[in-house]
Structure formats: C-alpha cells, structure tokens
Chain A
Amino acid sequence: MEKDQDQILSDVTTGEYKYGFYSDIEMDRIPKGLSEDVVRMISAKKNEPEWLLEFRLKSYRHWLTMKMPAWPNLKIPKINYQEIIFYAAPKERKKINNVEDIDPELKKTFDKLGIPLQEQKHLAGVAVDAVIDSVSIKTTFKETLAEMGIIFCSFSDAVKEYPDLVKRYMGSVVPYTDNFFATLNSAVFSDGSFCYIPKGVRCPMELSTYFRINSANTGQFERTLLIADEESYVSYLEGCTAPSRDENQLHAAIVEIVAEKNAEVKYSTVQNWYPGDKEGKGGVFNFVTKRGMCKGENSKISWTQIETGSAITWKYPSCILRGDNSTGEFYSVAVTNNHQQADTGTKMTHIGKNTKSTIVSKGISAGHGQNSYRGLVKVLKNATNARNYSQCDSLLLGDKCGAHTFPYLEVDNQTAIVEHEATTSKIGEDQIFYCNQRGISTEDAIGLIVNGYAREVINKLPMEFAVEAQKLLQISLEGSVG
C-alpha cells in the first residue's frame, strides 16, 4: 500500500503546475452575473427547501450593503461580479450510485489528479468527497462510515437528509453577516462537504475533500460544515487544484467547525489552486473564511495549512475558544513565488478559562512574491489563565520578494500569558554552494532547506499527505533561485 501511495504522490508532483489541464465535460451553467434571480435560480436548481432560500436571500440583501475591505496588504484587481458565472455543474445523466455511472471524462479528470473515486487499494485509509466546480460528484466510503454513525456527504445531500443538523449549525460559527466574501458565499454557495461525527466516535480514516475548478469564468463557492460531537475525533483534509487560465477566477469558500466537549478536530489543507503564470497573469483569488468553535470544555481544533497555489490568498483560519480548557492551534506554511501574494494568518479568541492557543506560521517568499502574516490574539475579560504562543518565521529567496508580519494583541485579562517570536532569514548562496559541493543540485538544495524550514508544520499533516506537501513546496519554488 505504501508503494501505491508513493506512486500516486510522485505522479502528482513533477514539473511545473501540473493540474493546469481542462476537462471537456458537459456542463449545466446558469447565465453569468449576480442578482436576486440568480440566487433563486441556484436554490431552485438544487431543489432547496424554503428556509435555505430565505437564508440565501437574506445574505444576498446584506451583501448589497457591504464593501470589499481594503485592509489586507494585497493588490487586488477590481472584481466584476456581473462577469462571473455563479453556478456550473456537470450534467447529470442519471443518479450516480457507483463509479460506472460517472461521466468518463469526469472520472479521467480525477484519475489525472490522483484522486480515487473508487473505494480501492490506494489511499484506502482515506474517504474522499470530490467537488468539481459547483457540485459534489461522489463521496467514497459513505457506507463504511455510516455503520459508525458518521455522516460524510455533500452539503446538498445533508440539506436534504439531515436538515435539522444543517439548520442548527450552519452560520453558527461564521454568521451570514461576517464579512464581504463570507456573505457572498452565504448567498450563492453551491456545494461542499458535510461531516458529523457522533458522540464518542473516533473516525477510523482520514476524511478528505478535493475541490476542482474546471469551467471558465466560474466562481467556486463551497461550504464545509464539520461537527464533532462530544468525545469524538476526526482528521480532515482538503486539497484544491484548477486549470491554468489567463483570467483570474474567484474562490470564496466557508469552512465552519464545531467541536463539542472533549472533541478534537484536525483540519488540514493543501492548497494548490492555479497560481498564475510567471508574469503574474491569471490565477485563482482565494478568499476564504475558515473558523472553528471550541464549544465544549477540553475541546481542541487544529488547523494545518500548506498554501502553495493561488494568485492571491486571503484567509485566516481561526478558533473561538469558548469552552474552558479548550485548545486552538494554527500551523501554516505559505509560499509566494513569481507574482503571488498572500495575506494569511489566524485569529485566536480566548473566551473560556485556561484556554490555550499555539500559532506557528512559516512564510516563504521568492521571485516577486509578497507574503504577509496577519494574526490576532484576543483574550476576553473572563478568560483567566489564557496562554498563547506565536511564532512567525519568514524565509526569503532572492531580493525582489517581501515578507511582512502584522501581529495584533488585545488582552483584557491580567492573568494571560502571551508570547510572540519572529525571525526572518534568507537562503544564502553559501548554503546552496555547500550543498552543491556535496553533490546536491541547487533545486534539491532549496528543497532540502525549505522542507527543513517547514518541517515543524509538515509534521502536523497526516502521513499520507506530508510527502505530497514536501514535493509541492519544492515544485512551487522551482526556478526561483539563480
């Protein structure tokens, strides 16, 4: 099994941006543009209940009153929302029950990406939900998981089959009024993954969602809702890729996590959306709201992210530490090469007593890349004995790139202990030459050094994906020195 994985991982990782291909799949698209009618149309396409349509409309109307925020350290070209197609889905031939029913083109697409839609040998320890453009195509291992009471399905299916759970939790962590892109998502979201781990259950396999943007001029607006009931555990991973295109594509997603008493959630992201070409043309705008609520005592939410793709990344996976003794973690590696920009970090809000948070952020900038860490540690009045440790490191390759850190602190409780460390380093020519002299090529030397630098974060990823992440890091920096 190990071999199979290595094979897949190595297939996935040679050359430049390897996922830039486009699949010719018959699609059902709505006309471009955004209006109340479009919101209704999306809801109708999905046969949604009235309450969900109301949620969308309420969000849309609120969005009309909002302005895109200007505070990130990013240069964002103006986005024309009337030019975007807000819903695109592969045409369904009939209800998909097994792999044979899936459009062969679609199957090929996921095969190329190394993502198994079959419940078979490779990646046997991983259940996959595959989302292309706007809809979830297939969720594997559904039945196996169901035996333990675990629900893992597309968001759309959850709306139909578990409306009470969805109603209760959707918007409870990221309210529809939260921010410009979260509100937009709440109005037009198309699909995503839904996961519920019942009380006392340790999910026996990795759950993962693969997101793929395929169609041109479409935005991707998915929503993930993950609920870990008391004493449960789950490790979840998302991966993302998109075709290479000259125009920018918008991705505005929401991830909400709820961890009840004694529950633990590990959420890992390997983000590899198309980053644009060497001159900065094209690429995905990755504007995502991710937030977890440690609702119960002793609950724990841990975010790990490897961000190598996207033209612009703007995201702050955050934790609200409401339960006493709850823990929030954020481990991040963000790479910006060529003309990529990233403004990323986290927000840890300490509400309960004895709450702990750890932040480890590793930025890597190369080419003309600009990398900003932005983090807020907030300790509220009643959060006695709150602890935070933050470490922000920046690594620079070359002298045209930039690294910036914006740590914010709001502490309203005297007993809090908050620590912050920051370093900036450069890969020196001396270090590369030293490697060369031992027979190691410059590219491999950078790979070694970068992976060494990012090891603390990579080690937090599930084993199966750590290898993939390492190779991704190296590839995304290819050609960045010399």
Chain B
Amino acid sequence: MLIINNLKASIGGKSILKGISLHVKPGEIHAIMGPNGSGKSTLAAVLAGREFVEITEGTVTYLGKNLLDMTPEDRAKEGIFLGFQYPIEIPGVSMVNFMKTAVNEHRKHKGLDPLSASDFLKLMRDKKELVEIDSKLANRSVNEGFSGGEKKKNEIFQMAMLEPRLAILDETDSGLDIDALRIVANGVNKLKRPDNSFIVITHYQRLLDYIVPDVVHVLYDGRIVKTAGKELALELEEKGYDWIKKEIENNVTA
C-alpha cells in the first residue's frame, strides 16, 4: 500500500527527516512512537502533501503511484486521510457543508453522482452514532470552539465519513478522556478492513490496548531507530526512550 524509501526532508533549510524507510501493507496497523520533536508530524505532513516541507531525497509510492507528485486533494481523494494533531478551526463553514463538499468531491473522483441531501444526512447520522459524537457538534462551524477532545473526535468522525484506504492519525488520542479514547479506538476498529491500513502516531501505550498494532516503530531524530511487534510499546511505556537513545549512541561510537 505505502512504500517509503530513504525519505529525507527539511523545513526552512533545517533537516528534519533523515532517511526514513517504511513499508505498510494492506490491512496493517503501524504505530509510530518517539520523543517530542523527533519528526512524527513532519512525516505525516509529507504524506499529506504540505508544501512547507521540502523533500530532499527518497521516494514514496502509494498504491503503485508516486505520491510526491500528487496534489494534497488528489491524495485525499485517492484515500489518504490525516487526522491532525492540531485540527484547524474554520469559522462560518458548517460541518454539514464542509463534509458534504468533501464527500461529494470523493464521489466525483470515483465517477459517482453527488449524494442527495437526504442520503447525505442519513450518512452523517449513521457515522455520528458510530463515533458517538454529539449531534450539536455537527451543526456548528468546523472545529470552531470545540474542546480539545471534541476536535479529536471530530477527526475520527470525518475519517468515518470518508472511509480512507490509509488513515494517518497524529496523536488522535492526546487530550482524550478514557471514554473518548475508547470511542476513538472503536472508530478505528470498526473501519478496519483487510484492504485498508492505519498509521497511528501516539505517545501512549494505552491507545494500543484498544488498537492493536501489527508493527511499532520508534522515530528518533528523523530516523526510525527501532521496529518491533506490539510488545515494544509496552517496553517504551515502562522504560522511556533513554535506553534507545543510549543504544544509538553506543552504536555510533562503536
């Protein structure tokens, strides 16, 4: 599904990603962990097509195509969804209008007719229930005045509406209470199918109690320094990142 090969990227001349390789197969859930500032969100930004990140080396292939050649909206319509670490507020634009535009753009891309107003509202209703978000939120402007947790749930709601092939969730669990965490995780699990994949960026093992990853990566200083099974998350939770840092330093000096 997604093959990242030796990806290097910088922001404003400062090198942030220093050679990342990653292979995500259909149906897999990959967790990415790593200390603050290690480049996790930058990686997500590159995959979603943010322009301020310059790609200096490497390739990204998504469903056999060169992802880096595609516009952000085409990536989205081809099934890439980014759950933002910091969702953006758009005052004046209602969630209904926003989602209707997005859903119909996706449908157009697939050669389908736009949904009728009633079919769309039904879809909204179904997905709202699925992710247990308050109906009132869907009638407000996009993220405007939403609490931190509400914004995160709204990302999952949007994901449920758009049914992506590859969802990248950037710390969607941060700032959630226990119930919300369960809801978000359920949202992911209900969308899970053999042909779609997830990249879940998180700091906490507790999310991975609900969403069981196939692979856990540790991103440190722009590199993936460790890849293992789900038990790696437990180990990190217990020991922090220091031992990994030490391991790396030892490797470098050795």
Contacts and interface: CB of A to CB of B under 8 A. Distances in A.
A452 B73 contact: no
Interface stretch (A67-75, A274-282, A428-436): A428-436
Interface in B78-93: 81-82, 84, 87-93
Contacts of B81: 437
Interface stretch (B57-65, B98-106, B179-187, B221-229): B98-106
Contacts of A439: 73, 76-77, 102, 105-106, 109, 162
B10 interface: no
A433 B105 contact: no
Interface string B49-76: 1100000000000000000000111011
Nearest to A447: B101
Interface of A: 425, 428, 430-431, 433-442, 444, 448-449, 452-453, 455
22 contacts: A425-B91, A431-B89, A433-B72, A434-B87, A435-B90, A435-B102, A436-B71, A436-B76, A437-B72, A438-B162, A439-B76, A439-B102, A439-B105, A439-B106, A439-B162, A440-B98, A442-B73, A444-B105, A448-B97, A448-B98, A452-B91, A455-B92
Interface residues on B, range: 20 to 34
Contacts of A425: 91
A7 B106 CA distance: 24
A440 B101 CA distance: 7
Given A437-B82, A438-B102, A452 B94 contact: yes
A71 B220 CA distance: 62
- Per CB-CB distance, the 9 closest pairs between chain A and chain B, nearest first, are A452-B92, A436-B72, A452-B93, A438-B102, A439-B76, A434-B88, A439-B105, A439-B77, A453-B92
A435 B158 CA distance: 12
B5 interface: no
Interface of B: 48-50, 71-73, 75-77, 81-82, 84, 87-94, 97-98, 101-102, 105-106, 109, 141-142, 158, 162
Contacts of A453: 91-92
Most interface-central of B50, B75, B98, B162 (chain A CB within 10 A)? B98
A452 B97 contact: yes
Given A439-B77, A439-B109, A440-B73, A434 B102 contact: no
Contacts of B90: 431, 434-435, 448-449, 452
A452 B84 CA distance: 22
Given A434-B88, A441-B73, A455-B92, 11 more contacts: A425-B91, A431-B89, A433-B88, A434-B142, A436-B72, A439-B105, A439-B162, A440-B98, A441-B105, A452-B141, A453-B91
A221 to B, nearest CB: 38
A361 B195 CA distance: 50
A433 B82 CA distance: 11
A448 B93 contact: yes
A438 B76 contact: yes
Contacts of B97: 448, 452
A431 to B, nearest CB: 5
Contacts of A435: 90, 98, 102
Contacts of B106: 439
A39 B191 CA distance: 76
